[in-house]
Amino acid sequence: MAYFLGLVLALAAFWLGMSGHNTPLILSLGGISVLATSILAYRLDIIDREGSPYVRLVGFLLYFPWLAKEIVKANLTVIRACVKADLDIAPALVKVKTICKSDLAKVTFANSITLTPGTVTVEIEGDKLLVHGLYEQDSQPEAFVEMDLRSARAIDGKGAAA
């Protein structure tokens, strides 16, 4: 039920942000479309933890500023590598083990790695991620421990990261 309510609220907010019209006719049409979408999603049976992850929104909002800081830091490194007069990179493939339990947390972790310039998740097998890094010294498995811990805490909740 909480997932269903979360989906309805998110759809309504999205519709209001997109439309901006406040006449009763348009509003009721918007309400009907939100309702129809919710019923279709219910019939497709996709309203679960993954289809409506708004319950974990607070954890994710706390996680994002840290991720943004990491993205800015990594951006500076890669920009320097791009514009340096002589090309000086040391690419490496690393295997990273994750403590994330659910698929959603694993996706968050892998997407965070890919979103950070200089590292790309190439493959996920079980709890092991194959990561390609632009600099060998920056992409050792230890470098991802904090990101792993934080994404596990943001999505799986406090208990999972213990």
Partner 1 sequence: MAELLANIHGLWEVVRFPLGAFMCLAGSLLCLVGTVGVLRFPDIYTRLHAASITDTSGAALVLIGMMLLSPGWLVISKLFAICVFLFLTSPTASHALANAAHTAGIQPVIGRVGSSDAEGEDA
79 near partner 1, judged by CB under 8 A? yes
18 near partner 1, judged by CB under 8 A? yes
Of 147, 139, 149, 142, give the one whose Cα is nearest residue 94. 139
Cβ-contact 17, 30 below 8 angstroms: no
Smallest separation, CB 44 to partner 1 (Å): 20
12 near partner 1, judged by CB under 8 A? no
Smallest separation, CB 148 to partner 1 (Å): 16
89 vs 143 by CB, closer to partner 1? 89
Residue 26 CA from chain centroid, whole number: 33
Site string for partner 1, 25-54 (x = CB under 8 A): ------------------------------
Question: Residue from 12, 27, 99, 114 that binds partner 1 (CB under 8 A)?
Answer: 114
Q: Determine which helix (DSSP H) or strand (DSSP E) holds 133, and give its type and residue range.
A: strand 128-133
Phi, psi (degrees; rounded to nearest 5) at 32? -65, -40
Record the tokens describing residue 48, joined without a space.
């679960």
**Which span (32-40, 44-52, 105-113, 148-156) binds partner 1, by CB under 8 A?**
105-113
Cβ-contact 151, 100 below 8 angstroms: yes
82 near partner 1, judged by CB under 8 A? yes
Euclidean distance between CA atoms 52 and 2, whole angstroms: 9
Q: How far from 30 is each of 2, 37, 44, 47, 140, CA to CA, in Å?
A: 21, 11, 21, 20, 50
Question: Where does this chain bind partner 1 (CB under 8 A)?
Answer: 14, 17-18, 20, 71-72, 75, 78-79, 81-83, 85-93, 110-112, 114-123, 130, 132, 134, 136
